[in-house]
Structure 1
């Protein structure tokens, strides 16, 4: 309910509501015998407009039905309030809605047919030629269509920029983690090869001095030899801890990937024992999550995506599912094909199915 109310307060729906209310104010000049029909038609258009604004993206059939009914209601309203002539303003609102929901070619064709039906209805119900008024109204419709087109283009550009930014943030997180691992390994080698070598040599010399008859039993030499042994043991522990493979910080990279998007929200769960040290495997998991987020937002209209990584038979098991709606049949597009190719290059597999609520579920497996 909160999301539906928020959709109504967006610029285009809010402008449409204000326009409909303005047309409703003009309906008071309708002939008394036609006011009931005009009021009913206007209320029907208002209901259809609100329904179009709040219906989820996944209910495409409902959207198409609403868009097809709206011009019919406009023609009825125009016939009932021909003396007022305000119903044609609603055609501008409908064209804006059509260009928002339909492909451009389909919206143009539907707009021409609707204006033709509108012209024929006015011509049969009025004495003068309604063509100039219809042509002027089509000019306003074209202006509304252009505004909607550029608004959609700006929104798509913003989303594309957000995806690129998220990709860069996630890649930067992985690169930074990989650089830290490389630096840690370099320090471990330097400590082992330089400091460890010199400490071992110093300890051997201290043992040789302690075996000299003149220095035998000297407490200072015995203490120095013992401390050098302890220091060498501590150094070996430090080197071992630096060499421990803790894996890449994949959780941080995944959260950075989802951070720029207001929806869907990404819930990441990584089993405690999972370690991913190979950058190629980490990048494959990132791209899998990225494509799942894009599909959930663009096609399934999901609000939440869950990603869980654990071990299975010595390999990785990545499960991703959302709370959206992917349709009765799962259709594999270029994004899914790209996932399969990336996983296949690492000898991995990908399975797709639907969740109980209708969302998309991805199950990827990668060998150790």
Structure 2
């Protein structure tokens, strides 16, 4: 499975590189146009500032560590562009606002994107009608607005494509993890069948043979009795071996928890998950394993939807009859934590198997849970068990 971060990083690189190169070309063209003008130095100074601001919003690491810096840089580009256009009348300056509008979906809610497009168009129309001597101002503004609209639509389409790919990758991970659970459940069913057959068939016949040998030993004498007693001892030993084999088959762990969670947490978009799972944690109850898998998946989904975290940690400790589970991320947290449908569903899953869970959002989003190694008798059957 390909890492979705690779695709997103390439798209971001192309977008940022295109913005910087385009702004540099505009600066060069304006310098060429104003080569003999006393406004040359002023124009280059303002454009270098715009270029620097575009560079700031193009640095992914800066956006992650200091998101406010990139946000302020984004807000400053447009007013500086308008001020520059009022001061120096050169047609190519509208390209800076095209670059700005391409970043709108990144920094503003989708609901404000089209209002931003309308605001930019009205601002250019007002600047030209007020400060320039151009003719056909309305037609020119409409034409330039189509360029802005194309940039905005392309940016929105790119973000939607990334989100769709994220969703596909998420469904793929869930499918692989579910396939692993289904495979483990099938192995459990097969071992149970073999153990039952050994107990019901071979065990039954060995028990009957042992009883008959015991009776034969009582009614025989001499050398024959000696051999019958040896056969009787061997049949008892074999019967004990069968019972031990049946017990071993029934008690073998079904699910390797670390392997299961590794499948569910690898290649996540914008999030790296560290697993600290004791090697001794192996579950023989598919229902518990499925609940644990769904808890981890919901925790990751919650982080991706509501947090800017880039790192998450899953810790599991074997406590004998129970497992202690902790999930935390590197997000900034919030003042209040409200339980949505996902977290409420997580509570219901754990309640159904006799587990407990609590949530915290300070200093970052954290989940504490305790799970039994065997689900309570009246708990619902796993969907994996039902499907198998």
TM-score interval w.r.t. the shorter chain? 0.7 to 0.9
The residue number in structure 2 matching 1:238 is 245
CA distance in 2: counterparts of 1:303 and 1:106, whole angstroms: 26
Kept in 2, the 8 Å contact 1:203–1:229? The answer is yes
Contact kept? 1:169, 1:253, Cα under 8 Å: no
Which segments of 5 or more consecutive residues in structure 1 lack a partner in the other structure?
none
Q: CA shift at 1:10, angstroms?
A: 2.0
Q: Does 1:364 align with 2:356?
A: no
Once residues 23 and 130 of structure 2 are traced to their aligned partners in structure 1, the CA distance between those partners, rounded to angstroms, is 25
CA RMSD after TM alignment: 2.9
Counterparts in 2 of 1:180 and 1:213: CA distance versus 1, 3 Å: closer
| Map 1:267-278 → 2, pairs under 5 A | 267-271=274-278, 274=281, 276-278=283-285
Aligned residue among 322, 331, 335 for 2:329: 322
Q: Distance in 2 between matches of 1:266 and 1:302?
A: 11
In 2, the alpha carbon distance for the partners of 1:203 and 1:313 equals 39
User: Of 25, 35, 57, which aligns to 2:28?
Assistant: 25
Q: Closer, same or farther in 2 for the Cα pair 1:37/1:294, shift >3 Å?
A: farther
1:89 to 81, 86, 95: 95
Moved more, 58-67 or 233-242: 58-67
TM-score normalized by the length of structure 1:
0.86
Tell me whether 1:103 sits opposite 2:109 in the alignment.
Answer: yes
- Structure 2 length-normalised TM: 0.82
Aligned-pair distance for 1:289? 0.9
Mapping of residues 105-144 of structure 1, within 5 Å = 105-129=111-135, 130-144=137-151
Q: SS at 1:310's partner residue?
A: strand
Q: Could you tell me whether the CA contact under 8 Å between 1:37 and 1:80 is conserved in 2?
A: no
Q: Any idea what the Cα deviations from partners look like across 1:234-291, whole Å, max 9, x if unmatched?
A: 2222111112152533322221112342542222233455454444433332222112
1:165 alignment partner, one of 150, 172, 178: 172
What is the aligned length?
Answer: 361
Change (3 A) 1:252 1:194: same
CA–CA separation in structure 2 for the residues paired with 1:58 and 1:365: 34
Matches within 5 A, 1:203-218: 203-213=210-220, 216=223
The verdict on how the C-alpha distance between 1:349 and 1:194 changes in structure 2, with shifts beyond 3 A counting, is closer
SS in 1 for 2:328: strand
